[in-house]
Structure 1
């Protein structure tokens, strides 16, 4: 089956689901790029859909489907773009080949912490810049889940010097992957549901995925015994609801506002859940015999230099990426002065 046939089948499947459930014209299907069983990000679109239903008085019902229910995870964006599926839920960086700026917002190495990322997105002009990149694809983007700083990754060996990255086969997404490639790693993007098997079979030697809460749910601690911090590649990252623009424009202004506000509430609840869940997850990881480590400072300095080169290279390739990068770095510098004044001694 070719891609067009697959997307056509997805559309037919979505219609069949709506018909089978007796859904009204106000019922919409959403497919996530993640399994719905995954901690935090798996449940996030479900909670958002519940909020939308409640805040619209039941006027909008969203049927949330997991990865692969209609199309493979990495085809959700295209399916939403052409209207085969009305809505999707994703990690922004998955669409970087089409939308380069999504890579920056999904995973800016040595980028903003969640509080600064949140402020820039909604008060610093970030969302307006990003939407310009989605418009040509007929997609409305709603930032809907903000991920706390991730772990630096799981490795089948110690990382003592930057040379230890040479020849390492690592699953790492986004711009961080390009930075490590500069240091000699063989980087690749593996769908979430395939990471464990890829580690177990030796297809990859290392992986990053998320913060401890999510990582422990995938069971990486059972097969890899070196867990590194900090998550330099994603100090924060965004997951979004994406909506076909024709579908979005069909909603009333009040319903659009309800969906946007439901995303903001979703962000707050998920941040609180993530922060309180990491310590217990780390205890589980250590109990499995994993050594939790920090990358040596010299290694982090080398990675940062490679990351700056990548960010500058990408800025030269795409004007919206460049605009967002300049805006975000200026914002980080501006609020950084205030944060420095407020910093407490150890």
Structure 2
């Protein structure tokens, strides 16, 4: 008897034309059946992350591992850190032109391709992790994302989420809006546009280049992710003031991008495996970042003397006002306008729910802890 598991695998990865034979349970009669042609697939994945980076780098590795596991090893993914196959910020082009099969990265790195790409990672004063998952999966975001990325020959899927990020590491305290004027900071996407609107200078550097830029004084401040990832890159050694909240990335979604021609060549089963693997890692990463950030924040403060700070109210207010303008400027016509309008409508709907759910609960929990 052919095992049921093998029959399921055959449906997943195709059926060949040759014949096999087996006997029925109640007869010795030989019955002819099509043999299974289990096609093997091998993919190269480039990433925007430094080699061995916890969290983000691990998420890319997990996507590959889970694709392999879910396909019984018939789909293999070799993961390359930034610079191993292509530089970090060339990952998108490598996948679009077919020199790599997949990328794992942050969609706001591709703003030069379209100003709407940041909506699929994070925008200032935008959606939390749960909200962006809600919008993409249930509010029409994935369909718009597909339409945008198809213009460049790419299919994109959520492949990790960092949760709420921190506002960044600063050499000096930020006491007023004047302290942002002339500030040179590593901050990509629309967060960088907000800083520019307030008089600062923003640079988009890949993770592997940030520490040296901070160390040499080429930048005065940097944001990256949160305590877990930031600790691994050692920013606390150069900039002792750690600011929150991260107005620019309230819930950063990372993506797996796949060459569109390759994606279209896959069977429905193969596509389902990749989607399921990405969805699984998206879930895992959010829980992992939430826990590990708590552990490493304590470590940074207790053992390394990091000085936690909050942005002053006037700075937050100015950031919020600039953020509304920056978001609107990125969606003035065409597909960009439709993405912006869909995002804003989803944000309004879910913010109304958060105002009676998450926000009041966090305030009540904190009151209870102090009481």
Question: Is the structural similarity TM-score above 0.5?
Answer: yes
The C-alpha deviation readout for 1:67-125, integer Å capped at 9, x for no partner, is: 11111111111111111111111111111100221122222100111111111111111
Aligned partners of 2:269, 2:349: CA distance in 1, in Å? 34
Aligned partners of 1:28, 1:171: CA distance in 2, in Å? 32
Deviation at 1:295, TM superposition (A): 0.5
1:319 alignment partner in structure 2: 334
Q: How does 1:63-74 map to 2 (within 5 A)?
A: 63-74=78-89
Deviation at 1:25, TM superposition (A): 5.3
Q: 1:101·1:130 contact (CA, 8 Å) conserved in 2? A: no
Unmatched segments (≥5 aa) in structure 1:
1-23
Q: 2:210 aligns with which of 183, 195, 218?
A: 195
1:14 alignment partner in structure 2: none
Q: 1:169 aligns with which of 144, 169, 184?
A: 184
1:253 alignment partner in structure 2: 268
2:125 alignment partner in structure 1: 110
2:102 alignment partner in structure 1: 87
Q: 2:51 aligns with which of 12, 21, 36?
A: 36
Q: Per the alignment, in what secondary structure is the counterpart of residue 270 of structure 2?
A: helix
Q: 2:243·2:308 contact (CA, 8 Å) conserved in 1? A: yes
Deviation at 1:338, TM superposition (A): 2.7
1:185 alignment partner in structure 2: 200
Deviation at 1:142, TM superposition (A): 1.2
Relative to the length of structure 2, the TM-score reads 0.84
Aligned partners of 2:42, 2:197: CA distance in 1, in Å? 47
Aligned partners of 1:89, 1:203: CA distance in 2, in Å? 27
Structure showing greater Rg? 2
Q: Per the alignment, in what secondary structure is the counterpart of residue 56 of structure 2?
A: coil
Unmatched segments (≥5 aa) in structure 2:
1-38
Q: 1:104·1:175 contact (CA, 8 Å) conserved in 2? A: no
Aligned partners of 2:204, 2:292: CA distance in 1, in Å? 26
Q: How does 1:262-281 map to 2 (within 5 A)?
A: 262-281=277-296
By percentage of residues, which structure has more helix?
1
The C-alpha deviation readout for 1:158-215, integer Å capped at 9, x for no partner, is: 1011111001111111101001101110111111101001000000000111111111
Deviation at 1:321, TM superposition (A): 2.5
Q: Per the alignment, in what secondary structure is the counterpart of residue 104 of structure 2?
A: strand
**What is the alpha-carbon root mean square deviation over aligned residues?**
1.3
Deviation at 1:53, TM superposition (A): 1.0
Q: 1:54 aligns with which of 46, 53, 69?
A: 69
Q: 2:186·2:204 contact (CA, 8 Å) conserved in 1? A: yes
2:311 alignment partner in structure 1: 295
Q: 2:116·2:331 contact (CA, 8 Å) conserved in 1? A: no
Q: 1:99·1:134 contact (CA, 8 Å) conserved in 2? A: no
Deviation at 1:29, TM superposition (A): 0.9
Q: 1:151·1:210 contact (CA, 8 Å) conserved in 2? A: yes
Q: 2:40·2:74 contact (CA, 8 Å) conserved in 1? A: no
Q: 1:53·1:62 contact (CA, 8 Å) conserved in 2? A: yes
Aligned partners of 1:223, 1:57: CA distance in 2, in Å? 46
Deviation at 1:308, TM superposition (A): 1.1
Q: 1:104·1:321 contact (CA, 8 Å) conserved in 2? A: no
Q: Per the alignment, in what secondary structure is the counterpart of residue 137 of structure 1?
A: coil
